[in-house]
Amino acid sequence: MSKKYVYFFGPEGSDGNASMKNTLGGKGANLAEMSNLGIPVPAGFTLSTDLCTAYYKNNKTYPAEVQGQLMENLAKMEEVMGKKFGSSESPLLLSVRSGARVSMPGMMDTVLNLGLNEETLKGLEANGGKRFAWDSYRRFIQMYGNVVMGIDGHVFEHEIDTLKKEKNVKGDLELTAEDLEELVKRYKEAIKKQNKGEFPTDPMAQLWGAINAVFGSWMNDRAIKYRDMYHIPADWGTAVNVQSMVFGNMGNDCATGVAFTRNPSTGEKVFYGEYLVNAQGEDVVAGIRTPQQITLSGSRKWAEENNVSEEERKANFGSLEEVMPEVYETLVEIYHKLEEHYKDMQDLEFTIQNNKLYMLQTRNGKRTAKAAVRIAVDMVKEGLIDKDTALLRVAPEMIDQLLHPQFIKDEKKKAVTEGKMIARGLPASPGAASGTVVFSAEDAEKAKEAGRKVVLVRIETSPEDIGGMDASEGILTARGGMTSHAAVVARGMGKCCVSGCGVLNISYAEKTFEVDGKVIKEGDTISIDGGTGEVFIGSIPSEAAKFEGDFGELMTWADERRVLKVRTNADTPRDSQVARDFGAEGIGLCRTEHMFFEGDRIKAVREMILADDEAGRRKALEKLIKHQRDDFTGIFRVMEGLPVTVRLLDPPLHEFLPNEEESQKEMAEEMGLTVEQVKEKVEELHEVNPMLGHRGCRLGITYPEITEMQARAIFEAACDLTKDGVKVFPEVMVPLVGKKEEFVMQKEIINRIAEKVFEEKEITVDYMVGTMIEVPRGALTADEIAEEAEFFSFGTNDLTQMCLGYSRDDAGKFIKVYREKGILANDPFASIDQDGVGQLVEIATKKGRKVRSNIKLGVCGEHGGDPASIEFFHKTGLNYVSCSPYRVPIARLAAAQSAINNDLIRDVKVKIEDAYNVIETGLKSLVKLIKKD
């Protein structure tokens, strides 16, 4: 039996359903599901993702059975729609769209009105009028020419702009049928001039050309870049959806629109969307015309924000609720049905043809982090979903959006008072951004590489701008609504965006934009507020967002559900307080060397390094102990009642000395030495591979006075605070241990100093001594080390570098090539390398627990804030992860999701085992019966 590649959907039901996203793609699966629910969907068929895979595997050719399956389903479409593909009397026209299993807005290609030629145009004209027919034809040539024939879209834009100037009109709708007929001729001539030959007239050739182009767009540059950004595997492929055209551009009883069942920016439970009368779907998202609001309340709010009078609003920007009330009521019924069915906020696309509503798409809508949190919490309260589902609905990485700064209110108010607010657009994606102006995606990417913060200013964004959007602090566009490409993509990225700022007069040639006589040049600084749509000249100070309400409630649910504790990596009282405010349950890594660089401390460190004997080193260390003690006092106080893991001095000593000759001269003068003496010491300390050299515990063993000073500072601070009634739980961590003996030597010093301080202070403090597992030998001898160590903390950054054999900096030079060649699936410095580093973590965990069952195990590398790595650490059975302060909320949510997912997997395994047991029991009974007979 031949493999099925083509799946039908239509009013009478479909071959697929919502569960088949992997085969039909998200769009195809949802079209099938809507058909099954009895929702009006134009008939069509889906070419599966399996066919996409086969297409690329077979050198861009199709299996033999595909042609027959396609013709069979095309005939079904013709029967259902009562039209004939290629007919000159009642032509069936098609849309051809992509549909990956996850939404990739604007990344791949679409062709509308397919099947038109000089003959089929007659039938379209007879049914819809001459202007409609020629408008549809020029749109088809424009899209097909760009998507399938590879002609730059500006070629067609130039032709239509030239014609409008000749006819002295501004809008496309002002062009007559005769004008559009002339435009079609000019389009065809332009195609010839591009050496692309004649425009194809055979409908079947057009169809296969479009299908090839959509499958081909899976591997275009922007789609690849988008997949890389969102870690979407290339072997998933895309489906192709071929669907009967319905027309929103046949007259004033026709329209097209995009809607969300809740506000995608705020999460508010209101129907929200935009539409255009007498238009096709691409017009809404392209931002060519100002869209109208679907609801009356939304329309009035829009008018107020844009200083449009009620009279003008009614006359030119009426809501769908007012203009087509019956269609609006049907749309409301459908959106309620779909949200209730999918139990999630839906993003809808629809077309109205002659006052009849057709649904073209539904999918789980992209939303900001703020909206995601609110929708998840609200749906629990509404009884639509449970808490576990709510927690799984918010991607941990999205929480980072909530950490984005907002403008300080007083500073923003001051900017308004001083007249620095120059424009207001649509609040497309919340947040605040300041940066220098750039006008192209390429310039934005270059600026990011150079370390500069920029705001990307465009007339309207297109999928080709994806890299520049990612590189920018924020995006500002002159055209486009709340559902435009810029708005949708920015929300998905968590980027601040102001769209539809129509007062901007942008010149790409001069690299300027002008507003009311003010000219802003490339390189000038502007600020944009994605929550209000405001645009300002100059930079406005910002502050971190506050966490309360729905977010706090969701985090409470996460804390109830997770097993892993979440600590932070912090070296100052300020960072410690930030982390504690974000819900950190202690410090997993306090890097003491960071304290040595503060103020005049570096001088004392250098004195220690340059000393010729122990006495000289102790003299220098005596200057440091007060600073260390004060730092620990501040951190312990902030973290009262919570554990604080302090890592002893780790980096090689040469890092504290300058390499530049000018800096060496300054140091020599400051310390009363000759430049030669300083250079000699720098050369003496130089190491070929510092990671494997004289650092970590090796420093403490060579110079035990360093460990003594640090231990004394820790325990004196702990004792003084304990006397004041502050609960302190210090954990002293010995870095870079590879042999049990190394740890024992350092532990002896720490315990000896602790006893001495307790005796002097006449008070004792509970403490632990453990080690950082960051070299492979430490992981492999973990059972021996655990005989002495009370805790392990995995330093996954160093462990990754040693395990892979290259550093993060080196990886930047070849990691992209490695990924392209399949050597690496992802960046091991971003998500833990489970085959290598992960095995070492698992080995050390098992060995450590075998010797010391209650050993505390954690992670203090940056992987502790990575959701994919947290999933692994949960399964491995660690006690906690530690990450930077601003990733603590991300880690808390990821830990909860790991617990939920682990339970789901366990439940599935139990069900499989139960089913197996039932089958086994049944077979045994059957065997007994057979034997008995």
Tokens of 133: 């027919």
Tokens of 900: 């939920």
- Distance of alpha carbon 812 from its chain centroid, rounded? 20
- 99 strand-pairing partners: 239
Residue 590 annotated to the active site: no
**Under 8 Å between Cβ of 786 and 855:** yes
In whole angstroms, what is the distance from residue 216 CA to residue 204 CA?
Answer: 18
Report the side by side order of strands in the sheet with 6-10: 13-14, 6-10, 44-47, 238-244, 94-100, 110-114
* Tokens 């306090």 belong to residue: 590
**At 225, is the secondary structure helix, strand, or coil?**
helix
255: left (phi over 0), alpha (psi -120 to 50) or beta: beta
Tokens of 608: 């220690």
CA dihedral 541, 543, 545, 547 (to 10 degrees): -160
For 95-140, the DSSP string reads EEEEEESS--TTTS-EEEEET--TTHHHHHHHHH-HHHHHHHHHHH
Residue among 484, 576, 68, 497 nearest 258 (CA): 484
Backbone angles phi, psi at 47, to 5 degrees: -90, 125
**At 353, is the secondary structure helix, strand, or coil?**
strand
Tokens of 229: 């950004």
For 780-818, the DSSP string reads HTHHHHHTT-SEEEE-HHHHHHHHHTS-HHHHHHHHHHH
**Under 8 Å between Cβ of 96 and 111:** yes
CA distances, 661 to each of 558, 622, 668, 678, 692 (Å): 53, 29, 10, 10, 26
In whole angstroms, what is the distance from residue 233 CA to residue 797 CA?
Answer: 25
CA distances, 273 to each of 285, 292, 339, 342, 631 (Å): 11, 8, 15, 19, 54
Give the orientation angle of helix 601-610 with respect to helix 614-638, to 10 degrees: 150
In whole angstroms, what is the distance from residue 341 CA to residue 15 CA?
Answer: 19
**Which position among 404, 485, 654, 863 bears the catalytic label?**
485
- Going by C-beta distance under 8 Å and a sequence separation of 6 or more, which residues neighbour residue 114? 93, 94, 95, 96, 140, 144, 203, 206, 207, 210, 245
Local structure of residue 886 (DSSP, 8 states): G
- 514 strand-pairing partners: 505, 519
Residue 92 burial by Cβ neighbours in a 10 Å radius (0-12, 13-18, 19+): buried
**Which position among 254, 590, 719, 860 bears the catalytic label?**
860
Residue among 778, 764, 928, 773 nearest 856 (CA): 773
In whole angstroms, what is the distance from residue 561 CA to residue 553 CA?
Answer: 13
In whole angstroms, what is the distance from residue 609 CA to residue 622 CA?
Answer: 13
**At 360, is the secondary structure helix, strand, or coil?**
strand
- Distant-in-sequence contacts of 547-550, Cβ < 8 A, 24+ apart: 547/402, 547/581, 547/582, 547/889, 550/267, 550/373, 550/374, 550/377, 550/378
**At 358, is the secondary structure helix, strand, or coil?**
strand
Residue 874 annotated to the active site: no
Residue among 478, 339, 365 nearest 105 (CA): 365
**Under 8 Å between Cβ of 303 and 317:** yes
Local structure of residue 367 (DSSP, 8 states): -
Catalytic residues: 485, 860
